[in-house]
Amino acid sequence: MGKSVLVIEDEPNIIEAISFILSRDGWAVATHSNGHDAVDVVRAKQPDLLILDVMLPGKSGYDILTELRADGATKDLPVLMLTARGQNKDRDLATRLGASRFMTKPFSNAEVLEALRELVSA
């Protein structure tokens, strides 16, 4: 497959779990753990897909997504949003801001792989 994914998440156990399952599935995985410079990291790495946590130090995932969607180079980047809060208002906000998919923690490894495969084949 050879697809690259950037995981922006600040919980080490989630970073480790996602990195493990994705690299085992053939993805090139890069990680980043704060919101301050997340947009710059996305632009620099130019991943095929982004996994973005909502709650990040420095800047929320929603703010990062808003910036990415306003930028011509990243406006079409598939983004899977992760959140610990799965309320409908969070899902609605993520969708309105342009998230491709939305997933609530905790999630299964199979769910993450299935979502990513759907996003890259779309």
Domain range summary for the chain, segments of one domain joined by +: 4-121
Other beta carbons within 10 Å of 72 = 6
pTM of the model: 0.95
Residue position matching structure tokens 């996602």: 18
| pLDDT for 1 | 47
| pLDDT for 86 | 73
Q: Are the beta carbons of 65 and 100 closer than 8 angstroms?
A: no
Right CATH for 4-121 from 3.40.50.2300, 1.10.4080.10, 1.10.3720.10, 3.40.50.300: 3.40.50.2300
Contacts of 54 (CB under 8 A, 6+ apart): 60, 61, 62, 81, 82, 83, 84, 85, 90, 94
* Residue stretches of the chain with pLDDT short of 70: 1-2
pLDDT tens digits, 89-101: 998 999 999 999 9
Q: Are the beta carbons of 61 and 32 closer than 8 angstroms?
A: no
